[in-house]
Amino acid sequence: MDVYADLLFLINFSMDFLCLYLSVKLLHLKQHTGRLLLAAVLGGVYSVVALFLSVDSGLALAIDVGVCVIMCAVCAAGKGVGLPRLALLCGTYFGISALMGGGMTAIYHLLNKANLPLDDVAGDGISAWMFLALATVSALAAVFGQRLFSGQSTRRTCTVRVRLGSAAWELSGLCDSGNLLCDPISGTPVIVADREHWLKGLPGDLRSAVESEGREGVAGVHTKRMRVVPMKTAQGSSMAIALLPDEIMLEEPNGKKRTVHALIAPSGQPLGGDFCAIVPATLMQ
C-alpha cells in the first residue's frame, strides 16, 4: 500500500488543529495560536511516525492517548490551568475528534454508494481525492461549529459592574449554570471572581485588612458587608469571604442591564480564560 507522508501529515495537522481550536473555544480557554499550531504539528508528525511503529495494539493505543494528552497539555500550558481543566480539555478534544471522525466515515460511505468516478490510491482503499473531499467537508463543519459555539458564548457573557462605597469596578463575567454557590442563611447567589481582580476593586482599608489580617481584619472593618460561605471545588471544600456590595449591575452584550442582589467572593485559584468572574445562571434569567 502506497502512503503519501506529506498528504497524511497535512490531513492530520488540519484535523488536529480544528479539533483543538474548537475544544479551546468551547471551554473558553485563552487561545494561543502558536501553541495550537505546535500541538497540531506534533499530531501530524506522530501520524507519520506511527506508520513505522511495530507494537501490539494495546501499547499502540496507550501511545496514541499519551500523544493526545501531550497535545492538549501544549495548548493548555499557562497560568491558571491545572490538572482538572487539562483533563476536561482532553475529554472535550477526544469527544470532538470522535464526532468529526464519525462524520467523515458517514460521508465516505455515502460517497462510495454514489459510485463517483474516483480512482483508489490502493485498489480497495480510499482515494486521495476523496480523502481531501472529506477533510474539506469536516473543515467547513468545524468552522460553522466554531461560529455556533462563539454565538452561544456571546449570549452567556456579561459585564459585572460593582459599587462598594466610593469604589467601583468592572469584571468580565461568564454566566455558568454550574455556579450554585449561595449564602447558606439567606440563599443569596454568589458571584465568584478572580482573587486578583476582586482585591483591586476593594476600598483601600478593606483591601489592606484582607491582605494583612484575613477574615478577622475584614470583620473589624466591614462586619455588615462580610459573609462566610462554604465553597466546594475540585480541590476540596473551604470557607470563602463573600462581600455584599452596595450595587451589582449586569450588562449583557446586547445592552440589556439589570441590577441584581448578590454577594461576590474571590476564587481560590485563577479562573483562566478571557473572563474574571463566574455569574450564577439564576441572575441572568
**Res 205: pLDDT:** 64
Identify residue 29 by its one-letter amino acid code: L
Kindly report whether the global pTM for this prediction surpasses the value 0.85. Answer: no
On the question of pLDDT at 14 being above 70, the answer is yes
Of the listed ranges 38-42, 266-270, 277-281, the one predicted with least confidence: 266-270
With b meaning 16 or more CB within 10 Å and e meaning fewer, what string describes 22-55?
A: bbbbbbbbeebeebbeebbbbbbebbeeeeeeee
**Res 247: pLDDT:** 92
Grid cell for residue 20: 483543538
Identify residue 21 by its one-letter amino acid code: Y
- Mean pLDDT on 7-17: 84
Strands (E), 134-246: 157-164, 167-176, 190-193, 226-233, 236-243
Taking only Cα atoms into account, the Rg of the chain, rounded to an integer number of angstroms, comes to 25
Give residue 240's pLDDT band: very low, low, confident or very high (50, 70, 90).
confident
**Res 279: pLDDT:** 92
Grid cell for residue 74: 501544549
Average pLDDT, the chain: 75
On the question of pLDDT at 276 being above 70, the answer is yes
- Level-2 CATH architecture, domain 157-284: Beta Barrel (2.40)
Query: Under 8 Å CB-to-CB from 171, ≥6 apart: which residues?
Result: 159, 160, 162, 193, 194, 197, 201, 276, 277
* Cα–chain center distance at 13: 21
**Measured distance CA(285)–CA(279) in Å, rounded:** 11
Give residue 161's pLDDT band: very low, low, confident or very high (50, 70, 90).
very high
* Cα–chain center distance at 150: 12
180 SS3 class:
coil
Domain ranges of the chain: 5-152, 157-284
- Mean pLDDT on 203-221: 55
Query: Under 8 Å CB-to-CB from 216, ≥6 apart: which residues?
Result: none
**Res 123: pLDDT:** 44
Pairing between strand 167-176 and 277-280?
parallel
